Amino acid sequence: MDFRHTMKARRALSAVAITTGLLLTVAGCGGGGGGKSDKGTATAAAPAQSGSKGGQTQSQSSQSDTVLAEVKGENGLSLTVTSAKRDGGGFVTVEGAVTNNTGTVWVGGNWRGDEQELARNGGSIAGASLIDQQGKKRYLILRDTSGRCLCTQFTGGVKEGATVQWFAQFPAPPEGTTKVDFQVGSMPPAPVNLSQG
């Protein structure tokens, strides 16, 4: 009997600990303070959600209407860059849109990069890079510990005529660097100015 009471007490204590942990997590993530770090996190997360749903709908968050750069190539494919911001953590988040006017579904296979580690990212923007002409350096996309890029994946491809939001994160160039070229696949380089996040 004593063993049974001990097990009940442990279960009750575990349930209280889990509930408390979940409440603290929700309270910590709730935010709403409108600070710069909250805004940057929400902006980076929204395009990832749109990319993971097959990219057929645009992001719920309001993407900037300002176009920093636009390049065309690959049989009617068009890429725009709408934001290139330095974030406090020492990285740069680049956002934009890709429009498919190729006449067929576009899967982004040649945008995932040539590295074997990037092959697991499927149709994505994992092969993108930032080129610092002044510092003569090339910055590759950031990855997590399992080799997944910190970028949008075009799951299911992009339908003909559709426009899809994307994002990609890179290590930040030195503070003195204010202009970089965004490059992906066989698209021409897109020169963009970096802003503070």
69: nearest Cα among 49, 95, 89, 47: 95
Residue 192: pLDDT over 80 = yes
Angstrom distance (rounded) from CA 56 to CA 196: 30
Q: Give start and end residues of each alpha helix (H) in 31-152.
A: 36-52
| Residues near 171 by beta carbon (within 8 Å), at least 6 away in sequence | 90, 91, 92, 139, 142
Provide Rg for the chain, Cα atoms. 21
pTM strictly above 0.75: no
**Residue 147: per-residue pLDDT:** 80
Domain assignments of the chain as residue spans, ordered by start = 1-30, 36-196
Q: What is the pLDDT of residues 38-50, one digit of tens each?
A: 333 333 333 333 3
Angstrom distance (rounded) from CA 80 to CA 133: 20
Residue 34: pLDDT over 60 = no
- Of residues 108 and 152, more confidence is placed in 152
Using alpha carbons only, what angle is made at residue 51 by residues 155 and 91, rounded to the nearest 5 degrees? Answer: 120
| C-beta separation of 155 from 146 below 8 A | no
CATH topology of domain 36-196: Immunoglobulin-like (2.60.40)
**Residue 154: per-residue pLDDT:** 83
Q: What is the pLDDT of residues 88-128, one digit of tens each?
A: 889 999 999 999 998 999 887 778 766 766 666 677 888 89
- Of residues 68 and 45, more confidence is placed in 68
Residue 103 DSSP symbol: S
Mean pLDDT, residues 52-64 taken together? 41
**Residue 2: per-residue pLDDT:** 56
**Residue 108: per-residue pLDDT:** 78
* Conformational region of residue 36, where left means phi above 0, alpha means psi within -120 to 50, and beta covers everything else: alpha
